[in-house]
Amino acid sequence: MKNSVKHLLLILLTAFANFSFAQIQWQKEYIYSNHAINNTVETARTTIETSDGGYLVGGIAEKSPRVAYMAKLGANGDSLWVRYYGSTYGNFNNLAKLYRDNSNELYGVFETITGRLSFVKLNETNGDTISKFYGPMGPASGYSYLAHTQLPNGDYVLSYTQSSASIVKCFTPGNITANWTHDYAGEVIAVTSIIQDGSDVVMSGYAGADWWMFDLAVTKLAASDGTVHWTKKYKRNAIWKDQRVGLVKNNAGNYLVACSWSQNNILYPSVIRMASNNGDSLSISILTTHNGNPVNFGFCDDLVPFANGFVAAGEIDQDFDDVMGDPQNVAQMALFCINDNGQILNAYAMNQVGPYYNGSIYTGSYAWGLACIPTSDNQVLVVGKGNYLAPNNGWISALGDAYVVKIAPETLGLKENSELTGLTAWPNPSNGTVQISASEIMEKITVFNQLGAKVFELNPSSKITSIDLSDNPGIYFYQVYGKNASGSGKLIIR
């Protein structure tokens, strides 16, 4: 769409001078790689909460050769055990995604050195491989996992890259023949996020041939056969290569797209609100400054429900003075708080993650958040990559390591009205049926799954009601709206 930008109704340039909205509960650096190997690329790419209050994280480690790993963290972030998935487990070189399927079974999406993708059922108590199945790939080389979603009937919609183009396929687990295929060959597009919306699926990603700034692309198609309803593109306004374009559906039924927005050849963290019926832009929020200083580069990545809005992991680049007093550009792992209208309310750049050596900041230091999840104690876990700075023959070497940070965000900025008093959900955990009550009449209840997709909505017009999720065990997040107040919480369905 050549004139998509003309449909923007509101440009929100957001500045937060001397403002901090979060308190770090703990931060951990995990060195799972062999730092004797040059240019280590260790990364924590995915995380999930476990039933005992701990966490699983997974990603890439350098063990000569590169291998996938999964680590168990306790509630305080201590590393309890780590499993490596190398040649013994099928030549896995990356654990790209941890998730729970429709039956609440733990799975990991593994990339292999041959390019095939494996969906591996995992034992969360020790990391053992229980079983696995392949998705429909084609030639077994040159593939990289990007995103997937599981439909209510058990089928998967999966995106992956083949050379410089992205392929989207719908398939039934265990059947390597695709039900349908959507091929973006020639458009050089990467579909990095997929959500279900009723009988449709919505996909966000980037297109274009520029190595630096790509074009944003959002597509809506039928889940049954892949028929495209609409596709919208925005010239040079998407994200830096290899990062995600986050995607959720908000309470009003519009789509929020977390990405980067280009102004004066600088990419800024941004969130776009789009109409679900045709993809037209409704508003955009752009973060150009943070703590009173200009942002030199940044992006919003993963985007998940939290409180009465959403949070996103990502990156903010800003200038700092090094030990000699010279300005240096340093990338920082970041967390963004976003309201239901897609406005970036708060940002927290964790410049203490990665960029320091002996208390000083050095050129080339960087860190970024690649995924985040809301936790059962109403905090947020951010995982990603930072720098391990070490002396090496008189030089300071920056070696990539996994970083995990737990944050208690100040969520008042996400609440557009007062807190709903007396909000209770019981039993929780539950076998399926949950009673929800409040001290005032509840006008609407919305339930999201861990991927941010809306799975249930009810207009009870009462102070007590029940919902039934017995057919779909898992972890859910609910939002309740009264006339003058709202509240939220987490549900565990076993």
Domain co-membership, 425 together with 338: no
Q: Does the pLDDT at position 7 exceed 50?
A: no
Query: CA 420, CA 439: separation in Å to the nearest integer?
Result: 8
Domain co-membership, 368 together with 454: no
- CB distance 282 to 9 below 8 Å: yes
Average confidence (pLDDT) over 192-208? 91
- 91: tokens are 């030549």
**What is the pLDDT at residue 274?**
93
Domain co-membership, 201 together with 310: yes
CATH number at residue 478: 2.60.40.10
* CB neighbourhood size of 354 (10 A): 28
Domain co-membership, 179 together with 230: yes
DSSP 3-36: TGGGG---EEEE--TT---EEEEEEEEE--S-TT
**What is the pLDDT at residue 360?**
47
Average confidence (pLDDT) over 132-150? 72
- CB distance 477 to 491 below 8 Å: yes
Q: Does the pLDDT at position 184 exceed 90?
A: no
Domain boundary among the residues 361, 386, 414 is at: 414
Domain co-membership, 328 together with 449: no
Domain co-membership, 207 together with 281: yes
Q: Does the pLDDT at position 89 exceed 60?
A: no
Query: CA 195, CA 380: separation in Å to the nearest integer?
Result: 21
Coil, strand or helix at 231: strand
**Domain containing 428: what range?**
418-493
Domain co-membership, 335 together with 241: yes
**What is the pLDDT at residue 281?**
87
What would the pLDDT profile of 252-294 be if each residue is shown by its tens digit?
899 999 988 877 778 889 999 999 999 998 888 888 888 778 8
**What is the pLDDT at residue 132?**
87
Domain co-membership, 460 together with 373: no
Domain boundary among the residues 414, 432, 466 is at: 414
**What is the pLDDT at residue 416?**
42
pLDDT, averaged across the chain: 78
Place of tokens 């201590």: 78
CATH number at residue 227: 2.130.10.10
Q: Does the pLDDT at position 353 exceed 50?
A: no
**Single-letter amino acid code for the residue at 164:** S
**What is the pLDDT at residue 359?**
44
- CB distance 258 to 301 below 8 Å: yes
**What is the pLDDT at residue 121?**
95
For the chain, the domain total comes to 2
Domain co-membership, 386 together with 475: no
Place of tokens 């959403």: 310
Going by pLDDT thresholds of 50, 70 and 90, the confidence category of residue 180 is very high
Nearest to 160 by CA among 62, 215, 94: 94
Highest mean pLDDT among 18-27, 136-145, 189-198: 189-198
Higher pLDDT, 475 or 200: 200
Angle at 482 between CA 478 and CA 487, to 5 degrees: 40
Average confidence (pLDDT) over 444-448? 83
Cα Rg of the chain, angstroms: 22
- CB distance 176 to 169 below 8 Å: no
Domain boundary among the residues 414, 442, 465 is at: 414
Give the percent of the chain with pLDDT over 90.
26
Element (H, E) at 282: strand 281-287
Q: Does the pLDDT at position 249 exceed 90?
A: yes
**What is the pLDDT at residue 328?**
66
Query: CA 315, CA 299: separation in Å to the nearest integer?
Result: 5
Coil, strand or helix at 63: coil
Burial class (CB in 10 A: 0-12, 13-18, 19+), 64: exposed
Higher pLDDT, 93 or 88: 93
What would the pLDDT profile of 148-168 be if each residue is shown by its tens digit?
999 999 999 988 876 667 788
Domain co-membership, 376 together with 430: no
Nearest to 269 by CA among 290, 293, 291, 247: 290
Q: Does the pLDDT at position 28 exceed 90?
A: no
Place of tokens 């896995």: 92
Give the percent of the chain with pLDDT over 70.
75
Domain co-membership, 333 together with 477: no
Domain co-membership, 86 together with 186: yes
